């Protein structure tokens, strides 16, 4: 009787066209039936159909009309069996198949990625490029699409790879910019998390994403941009002529527990609340800590107040971390308690391994403590999301980011209901208008005539002034060539002008760049300090400390990470700082050195200095061939080193590219397990994960 009454209430809501509340009550009812192992009767199935939640239909207990809908909404997504889409997914796919370019805002649980798979399987395009916000998401997307389309398509994730007849390219924005010139035409450009093109959401990287959207958008026949929780989109040249769809269709229900009202900013009560939640819950939990210092505080709290678990996998992982990273790192103690850490600074393979352990049903990680990286870097979710902090770095969480975080609660077919525990006061609800505008950092890449309607008078003046300054420094012909060939990575006119001015006013000192090509690294620090001073804000380290770090990093292949940290002990570099500084060295410093190298070759050609070999080595963290690229695929450098030492693969061969290495590793997989010395139990676990991600898929019949 109780189920019938709830069905009647849901039906009344549907009749009143309150679809959101009807879905929420229906999902809670499905959760109850699932927990009690009850079958759906025809009435429940009918309400599922009326709510548009077609994937939840049970064809065994449905009427023939509801079974017909279940079958009708099935689509090919590139795997053996087709999948039923919900009503709003089907709407988006129909628009795409009709050739419409879309900017879609939909909740985290909507299933936006599934539509990409269906489009590829049905349309069979020649070239698809997917822009993702992080390297971690690059690998996750690659693994998903490789399982379905590797037999038909070349899956490209690095900018040095040659294209095949049919290609799926998956890049973060910085890497995509380098590939622009190699592409003549795109059938579909996908931009995941396209709201990050706004400075409001990603001040540091928004200009790079806008640059990629601008350059690639010109080559794309069709575009599909995805974002969560956007209420409106301003008129702008980046989404011109695209249909904006705002879809608030949820497939899970979020049960909010507003514990902050009882805690009332009492730190002890907050600690007790967290420990109590984790103590009584045996399901997976994501803890949003907001800042690196908060991650550290939560880690300390859990180490001091929770017991070690009796899991062989956790013990193996802890021992592996102690050997390969640092024995006193908090993560080595945390994982014995079933807890991992997810931040944007960790080595890519290490983040991937922890997410993999978090997905394990038994013996893996029960809890992940994270910064905002968990909503930017991966598509994982959990039954419980604990909002420990209402901060996002130094700033308070805005409603947009808050909704994105709690949207990680619940998962279709696994957790109908996501439990959201809020330990600090959340932001006030707000509509999010997405404003995409030209930032000043992009002015060096745009033509004043082409975009004069979108640019302010001040920006138009800056473009003209920049053109005048650069023409004076380089000459008209050279300036136009540098611009058209895209040789300068930075689009910031002020930085480019500062580099040109520094070199032209002190040509003798800048001859010191040549020392970067020397076999000895003894003289690197002084010229690197000179380079770093061109970036006034620095990169969270003194010039001297960062320059010394780069010098020591050059020993990366010969020495283990604990040994490198020992070399850096005078500079007090922690394991966390090591991750951050390596990231800044391989991305920010290489970009800066590239522009310096290009400009100095034009201003003082008589010096005949070219530090591009040094830049290439630095971009790989001084590791040989494709080691860093393999890390993105889930093979850590220390494991690659063991394989190299065994003589099975010569990673020091400069002609060995990523795809050749993967092909070779596939062939010698049995030999690796049998012949590589010193493999421990967790090494073998990681190898299994890596090989699973590069397995050759057989063409579907």
- Annotate 172-198 with b (16+ C-beta within 10 A) or e (fewer): bbbbbbebbeebeebbbbbbbbbbbbb
pLDDT at 446 over 80: no
Residue 701: pLDDT over 50: no
Q: Alpha-carbon distance 590 to 401, whole Å?
A: 31
Inter-residue contact 220 to 131 (CB < 8 Å):
no
Q: Kindly provide the b/e burial profile for residues 639-652, where b requires at least 16 CB atoms within 10 angstroms of the residue's own CB.
A: bbbbbbebeebebe
Average pLDDT over residues 133-162: 86
Distance CA 590, CA 187 (A): 32
E strand or H helix at 585, and its extent?
none
- Rounded to whole angstroms, the Cα distance separating 239 from 254 reads 32
Q: Please choose, from the candidates 183, 195, 196, 210, the residue with its C-alpha nearest in 3D space to the C-alpha of residue 128.
A: 183
Q: Which residues contact 421 (CB under 8 A, 6 or more apart)?
A: 257, 259, 273, 277, 384, 385, 386, 387
The helix-helix angle for 348-359 and 312-324 (nearest 10°) equals 170
* 518 burial level (CB within 10 Å; 0-12, 13-18, 19+): exposed
Return the SS3 of 289. coil
Task: Determine the Cα–Cα distance for residues 457 and 438; give it in Å rounded to an integer.
Answer: 12
Q: Give the integer Cα–Cα distance in Å for 324 and 479.
A: 47
Say if CB 5 and CB 17 are below 8 A apart: no
Rounded distance between C-alpha atoms, residue 592 and residue 121, angstroms: 41
Alpha-carbon dihedral sign for residues 616, 618, 624, 630: negative
Q: What is the pLDDT of residue 694?
A: 86
Compute the radius of gyration of the chain from its Cα atoms.
Answer: 27
User: What confidence tens digit (pLDDT) does each residue in 92-114 have?
Assistant: 999 999 999 999 999 888 888 89
Is 60 exceeded by the pLDDT of residue 698? no
Tell me the mean pLDDT in the region 413-442.
Answer: 87
Per DSSP bridges, beta strands 395-396 and 391-392 are antiparallel
Which bin fits 7, alpha (ψ -120 to 50), beta or left (φ > 0)?
A: alpha
CA distances to 245, 445, 573 from 181, in Å:
31, 14, 39
pLDDT at 432: 87
Q: Going by DSSP bridges, is the β-strand pair 367-370/74-75 parallel, antiparallel, or unpaired? A: unpaired
d(CA 682, CA 688): 10
Task: Please give the DSSP secondary-structure letter assigned to residue 105.
Answer: E
pLDDT tens digit sequence for 532-570: 988 866 677 788 999 999 999 999 999 999 999 999 999
Say how far apart CA 651 and CA 640 lie, in whole Å: 8
pLDDT band at 134 (very low <50, low <70, confident <90, very high): confident
How far, in Å, CA of 636 to CA of 630, rounded? 7
Region 344-350 average pLDDT? 84
| Structure tokens given for 677 | 């010395």
Of the candidates 79, 136, 118, the residue with the CA atom closest to the CA atom of residue 128? 118
User: Which residues, listed in sequence order, are joined to residue 417 by a DSSP beta bridge?
Assistant: 253
pLDDT for 538: 64
Which among 69, 77, 153 is positioned nearest to 114, based on CA atoms? 77
8 Å CB contact between 177 and 170: no
The Cα diameter of the chain in Å comes to 90
Q: Phi/psi at 190 (nearest 5 deg)?
A: -110, 130
Residues 648-690: tens digit of each pLDDT: 999 999 889 888 999 999 999 999 988 999 999 999 999 999 9
The conformational region for residue 265 under phi > 0 = left, psi -120 to 50 = alpha, else beta, is left
Q: What is the pLDDT of residues 221-274, one digit of tens each?
A: 999 999 988 999 888 888 989 999 999 899 999 999 999 999 999 999 999 999
SS3 for 175-213, per residue?
HHHHHHHHCCCECEEEEECHHHHCCCCCCCCHHHHHHHH
Please state, in angstroms and as integers, the Cα–Cα distance from residue 471 to each residue in 112, 475, 479, 490, 500, following that order.
46, 4, 6, 17, 12
pLDDT at 378: 64
What integer best gives the mean pLDDT of the chain?
89
**Residue 415: strand pairing partners:** 411
φ and ψ of 595, to 5 deg: -65, -40
Q: What would the two tokens of residue 100 be? A: 């419409």
CA distance 308 to 338: 8
In the prediction, which pLDDT does 393 show? 76
pLDDT, one tens digit per residue, over 271-327 is: 999 999 998 867 899 999 988 899 999 999 999 999 988 899 999 999 999 999 999
User: The whole model's pTM is what?
Assistant: 0.89
Would you list the DSSP string of 300-358?
Answer: HHHHHHSPPP--HHHHHHHHHHHHHT-TT-HHHHHGGGTEEEE-TTS-HHHHHHHHHHH
Residue 349 has pLDDT above 80, yes or no: yes
Neighbours of 664 (CB within 10 A): 13
Q: Is the pLDDT of residue 451 over 70?
A: no
The H or E element that residue 505 is part of is helix 493-505
pLDDT at 278: 93
Query: Residue 376 — very low, low, confident or very high, per pLDDT cuts 50/70/90?
Result: low
Q: Which of 49-58, 230-239, 320-329, 331-340 has the lowest mean pLDDT?
A: 230-239
Instruction: Give CA angle at 398 (393, 400), nearest 5°.
Output: 115
DSSP state of 569: G
In 3-state terms, what secondary structure has residue 270?
helix
Query: Given pLDDT bands bounded at 50, 70 and 90, which one contains residue 443?
Result: low
As a whole number, mean pLDDT of residues 167-196 equals 89
At residue 486, the pLDDT reads 66
Instruction: Determine which helix (DSSP H) or strand (DSSP E) holds 456, and give its type and residue range.
Output: none
The Cβ of residue 692 has, within 10 Å, a number of other Cβ atoms equal to 12
Burial class (CB in 10 A: 0-12, 13-18, 19+), 507: middle
Question: How far is 515 from 307, CA to CA, in rounded Å?
Answer: 53
pLDDT of 394 strictly over 70: yes
Q: What is the pLDDT of residue 441?
A: 67
Average pLDDT over residues 436-460: 69
At 333, the pLDDT band (50, 70, 90 cuts) reads very high
377, 344 contact by CB (below 8 A): yes
Question: Any idea which residue has 């061939």 for tokens?
Answer: 625
> Burial, 230: exposed, middle or buried (Cβ in 10 Å; 0-12, 13-18, 19+)?
buried
Which H or E run contains 278?
Answer: helix 267-280
């Amino acid at each position: 009787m109780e189920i019938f009454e709830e069905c009647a209430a849901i039906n009344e809501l549907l009749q009143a066209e309150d679809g959101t509340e009807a879905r929420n009550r229906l999902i809670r009812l499905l959760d109850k039936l699932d927990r009690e192992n009850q079958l759906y009767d025809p009435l429940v199935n009918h309400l599922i159909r009326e709510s548009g939640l077609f994937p939840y239909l049970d064809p065994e207990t449905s009427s023939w009309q509801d079974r017909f809908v279940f079958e009708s909404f099935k689509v090919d997504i590139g795997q053996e069996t087709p999948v039923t889409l919900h009503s709003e997914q089907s709407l988006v796919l129909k628009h795409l198949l009709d050739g419409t370019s879309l900017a879609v805002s939909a909740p985290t649980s909507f299933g936006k990625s599934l539509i990409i798979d269906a489009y590829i399987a049905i349309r069979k395009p020649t070239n698809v490029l997917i822009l993702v916000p992080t390297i971690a998401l690059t690998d996750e997307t690659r693994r998903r699409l490789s399982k379905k389309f590797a037999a038909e398509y070349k899956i490209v994730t690095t900018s040095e790879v040659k294209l095949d007849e049919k290609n799926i390219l998956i890049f973060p924005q910085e890497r995509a910019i380098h590939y622009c010139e190699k592409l003549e035409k795109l059938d579909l450009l996908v931009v995941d998390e396209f709201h990050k093109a706004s400075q409001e959401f990603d001040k540091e990287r928004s200009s790079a994403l806008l640059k990629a959207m601008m350059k690639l958008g010109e080559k794309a026949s069709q575009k599909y941009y995805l974002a969560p929780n956007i209420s409106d989109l301003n008129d702008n040249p980046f989404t011109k002529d695209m249909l904006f769809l705002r879809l608030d269709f949820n497939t899970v229900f979020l049960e909010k527990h507003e514990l902050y009202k009882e805690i009332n900013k009492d730190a002890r009560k907050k600690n007790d609340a967290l420990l109590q939640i984790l103590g009584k819950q045996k399901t997976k939990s994501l803890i949003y800590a907001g800042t690196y210092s908060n991650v550290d505080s939560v880690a300390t709290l859990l180490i001091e107040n929770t017991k070690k678990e009796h899991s062989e996998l956790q013990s193996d992982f802890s021992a592996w971390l102690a050997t390969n990273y640092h024995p006193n790192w908090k993560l080595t103690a945390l994982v014995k308690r079933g807890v991992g850490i997810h931040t944007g600074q960790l080595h890519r393979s290490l983040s991937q391994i922890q997410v993999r352990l978090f997905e394990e049903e038994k013996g893996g990680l029960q809890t992940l403590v994270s910064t905002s990286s968990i909503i930017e870097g991966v598509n994982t979710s959990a039954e419980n999301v604990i909002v420990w902090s209402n901060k996002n770095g130094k700033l308070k969480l805005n409603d947009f980011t808050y909704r994105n975080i709690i949207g990680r609660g619940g998962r279709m077919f696994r957790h109908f209901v996501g439990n959201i525990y809020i330990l600090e006061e959340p932001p006030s609800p707000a509509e999010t208008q997405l404003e995409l505008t030209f930032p000043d950092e992009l002015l060096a890449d745009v033509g004043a005539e082409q975009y004069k309607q979108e640019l302010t008078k001040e920006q138009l003046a800056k473009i003209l002034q920049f053109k005048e300054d650069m023409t004076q420094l380089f000459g008209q012909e050279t300036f136009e060539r540098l611009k058209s060939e895209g040789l300068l990575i930075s689009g910031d006119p002020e930085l480019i002008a500062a580099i040109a001015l520094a070199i032209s006013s002190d040509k003798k000192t800048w001859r010191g760049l040549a020392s970067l090509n020397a076999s000895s690294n003894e003289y690197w620090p002084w010229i690197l300090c000179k380079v770093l001073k061109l970036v006034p804000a620095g990169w969270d380290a003194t010039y001297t400390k960062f320059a010394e770090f780069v010098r020591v990093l050059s020993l990366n292949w010969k020495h283990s990470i604990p040994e490198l940290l020992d070399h850096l002990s005078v500079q007090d570099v922690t394991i966390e700082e090591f991750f951050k500084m390596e990231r800044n060295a391989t991305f920010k410093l290489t970009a800066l050195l590239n522009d310096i190298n290009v400009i100095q070759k034009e201003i003082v050609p008589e010096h005949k200095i070219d530090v591009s070999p040094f830049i290439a080595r630095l971009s790989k963290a001084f590791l040989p061939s494709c080691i860093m690229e393999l890390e993105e695929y889930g093979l850590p450098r220390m494991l690659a080193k063991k394989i190299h030492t065994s003589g099975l693969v010569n990673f020091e061969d400069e002609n060995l590219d990523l795809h050749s290495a993967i092909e070779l590793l596939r062939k010698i997989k049995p030999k690796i397990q049998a012949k590589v010395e010193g493999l421990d139990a967790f090494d073998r676990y990681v190898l299994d994960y890596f090989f699973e991600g590069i397995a050759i898929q057989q063409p579907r019949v």
